[in-house]
Amino acid sequence: NAGVTQTPKFQVLKTGQSMTLQCAQDMNHNSMYWYRQDPGMGLRLIYYSASEGTTDKGEVPNGYNVSRLNKREFSLRLESAAPSQTSVYFCASNGQDAEQYFGPGTRLTVT
């Protein structure tokens, strides 16, 4: 039982490049989330998926797209990366008991 996994762990992009951050969970959770965390700040919700086949915007969705590929996987895409998107990205999931489980994070730098 790996919990929540994220790939890659680190990534450096140039401005304008695109990439997809991958997230998977093996706990059969319905809900999955993407957050970003900037230095010295709390986590801000980008997008979430309450169940397979549905996605909704969170607090800071601009510049991102998501796909809930199946119950296990929830990906985050940056179509045209900007330096303001330099951050640590966390994926999380939760089931019926409301406890959120977080992945180890992806550290993204956009130059």
Partner 1 sequence: LAKTTQPISMDSYEGQEVNITCSHNNIATNDYITWYQQFPSQGPRFIIQGYKTKVTNEVASLFIPADRKSSTLSLPRVSLSDTAVYYCLVGDMRGGQAGTALIFGKGTTLSVSS
List of residues contacting partner 1 (CB under 8 A): 4, 29-31, 33, 35, 40-45, 48, 50-51, 56, 58-59, 90, 92, 94-105
Q: How far is the CB of 52 from partner 1 (least distance, A)?
A: 11
Angle at 49 between CA 74 and CA 51, to 5 degrees: 100
Per-position DSSP letters for 21-69, written without gaps between them: EEEEESS--SEEEEEEE-TT--EEEEEEESSTT--EE-S--TT-EEEE-
Q: Which lies closer to partner 1 via its Cβ, residue 14 or residue 99? A: 99
Q: Which lies closer to partner 1 via its Cβ, residue 2 or residue 14? A: 2
Q: Which lies closer to partner 1 via its Cβ, residue 1 or residue 96? A: 96
Burial of 14 (0-12, 13-18, 19+ CB in 10 A): exposed
Q: Which lies closer to partner 1 via its Cβ, residue 17 or residue 67? A: 67
Tokens of 73: 């996987």
The 8-class DSSP code of residue 110 comes to: E
Q: How far is the CB of 80 from partner 1 (least distance, A)?
A: 25
